[in-house]
Amino acid sequence: MSPVPLILWIVVLAHTTLAVNVCPRPPEIPFATVDIDKAEYYSGEEITYRCNTGYIPQSGSRRYTCPLSGRWPAITLTCTPRKCPFPDPLNNGDILHADISYQSVIRFSCNPGYILQGPTTSQCLADGQWSAKLPQCQPVICPPPPVSEFGALSYHRNNPGNIFVFQDVITFECLSPYALFGNETASCLSNGNWSELPECRSVQCPYPEAIENGFINFALRRTYNYAETVTYGCNPSYVLDGATVARCEKTGHWSPKPTCRAPCKMPAKKGTVLYNGEKVKVKHLQNGIQHAEIIWFFCKNNEQHCSYKVSTQCVDGHLSAPACFKEPGIFSFLKTEVADMTPCGNIN
């Protein structure tokens, strides 16, 4: 063989061998780039994948070498978005989010009665940090409540400070002799207004009515202002039933006045009764028994020849002896009085 054909054959063989050992452009990986990007790679050349900004390698190898076969090995690298830390709770507000990965956006909002101070959104950046700090939800401010010329105001706050804020509560009271109409308290509402406020009005009551068998202590013949009072009393032997003090109400009327209850006469002239825990002759009680007092009468059990007690109460001048009670007769001194008999409960 001549030298020229031999040389040509060697050149073709070398070219064929080199063509077999060239790798094509490596496959694209989502969210990643290759450090050396070209159309062909010779056997033994190494490439390195790098995840794009905001993404981190999740699994697989980053480095690959072009083999003699000219075919890249299976690329196993995956890149996933970097995550930002979960945001802290927003006091008196809410954070709306679907994801906390790179480029995702969270939105801030406040509960009714609170105003957002700060950013309304924040985005997760490539370094895994949020673009904006957490905002604050500040309570709505109410103006000082209007007070009438006759009103004096005191209030209780949920939060310290010199301003009225959402949910603060104030308590109203009126200077004497004015009466308060409406709710005694008002609240700072979510819209920055106060709940319904009361008002102070002048109220007068007529001269108080007298009570039967009683009197009004030191009452002056005049009209009385709201909240002024008078005191009632009863004549001797009568008992006051109800409140001693009557008050001029905001309706312009007096609170219920008391009643003087009458004493009771003894319904018997002879005999012995149990009064205030002691045996007492009826003749010593002829001056009367006061209202609501209880008297025990002694009755006789004829079959067992013993005595038992029956109670009765004085109710506003009415007192009656039980049907079983018998007054001692003319010759009672010859017999044992019922009150002195053995109690029936003590007989075996």
Q: Give the CA radius of gyration of the chain.
A: 53
171: which 2 tokens? Answer: 């308590």
Are 227 and 210 spatial neighbours (Cβ–Cβ below 8 Å)?
no
- Tokens 């075919």 correspond to 71
98: which 2 tokens? Answer: 């679907």
From 34, 50, 35, 42, select the one nearest 18 (Cα to Cα): 42
Q: Which helix (H) or strand (E) element contains residue 18?
A: helix 3-20
CA dihedral 228, 230, 231, 236 (to 10 degrees): 180
Q: Which helix (H) or strand (E) element contains residue 114?
A: strand 114-117
* Backbone angle region of 345, left / alpha / beta, with phi > 0 → left and psi within -120 to 50 → alpha: alpha
Task: Give residue 17's pLDDT.
Answer: 46
Measured CA to CA, the distance from residue 117 to residue 82 in angstroms comes to 28
Are 226 and 179 spatial neighbours (Cβ–Cβ below 8 Å)?
yes
pTM for this structure? Answer: 0.62
| Per-residue pLDDT tens listing for the chain (348 residues) | 455 444 444 444 444 444 558 999 999 999 999 999 899 999 999 999 999 999 999 888 999 999 999 999 999 999 999 999 999 999 999 999 989 999 999 999 999 999 999 999 999 999 999 999 999 999 999 998 877 665 666 656 656 677 899 998 888 888 888 898 999 889 999 999 999 988 888 999 999 999 999 999 988 889 999 999 999 999 999 999 999 999 999 999 999 999 999 999 999 999 999 999 999 999 899 888 999 999 999 999 999 999 999 999 999 999 999 999 999 887 666 688 999 999 998 765
Task: Give residue 12's pLDDT.
Answer: 45
Are 47 and 55 spatial neighbours (Cβ–Cβ below 8 Å)?
no
Going along the chain from its start, the domains and CATH numbers come out as 3-81 (2.10.70.10), 93-139 (2.10.70.10), 148-202 (2.10.70.10), 204-261 (2.10.70.10), 272-346 (2.10.70.10)
115: which 2 tokens? Answer: 């105003």
Asked if the peptide bond before residue 198 counts as cis, ω within 30 degrees of 0, the response is: no
Task: Give residue 154's pLDDT.
Answer: 64
CA 163-166-172 angle, to 5 degrees, is 70
Task: Give residue 57's pLDDT.
Answer: 93
CA dihedral 267, 268, 272, 278 (to 10 degrees): 30
